[in-house]
Amino acid sequence: MMRILANASLLVFLCATAGVAERNLIPTLDNQPDVCPDQPPEPQWMQDINVRESHKRLLIQQIYRAQSMQRIVEAQSCECLTRYPSWEAAEGVFVEQFAASEYWDIVEATSEYRRQANELRREAMPICEAAGNW
């Protein structure tokens, strides 16, 4: 069983690195985005969140992503401010609806926001590609 897991892990690693090699990417420590370089950073408290609370950070990230895709689709525009506004709206949703939630409720909500974002992404992507912001 361990051998199968090890082989599967190796296969996943090789496939992942093969994709990187195909695109001719060179890894760097520079975290500057290719699109909209003035993206607002996550709030400091999210960056400093305790590892045991990291599921909350992931939820806020998915809320932000879903809101971003929704704004793009509604505005039919992919300007940087539309795609990457401040984090306040996502934080507000989290505080109002999930701050006191249990772990599994947050995991479920994260999955739902991820699903929403992925559905909206299909509509948002062509809009952003046309604007050169994808």
Residue 20 has pLDDT above 50, yes or no: no
- The per-residue pLDDT for 28 is 55
Residue 10 has pLDDT above 90, yes or no: no
**pLDDT tens by residue, 27-81:** 555 555 578 889 999 999 999 999 999 999 999 999 999 999 999 999 999 999 9
Angle between helices 88-97 and 54-75 (to 10 degrees): 120
Residue 7 has pLDDT above 80, yes or no: no
* Segment among 13-17, 95-99, 107-111 with least mean pLDDT: 13-17
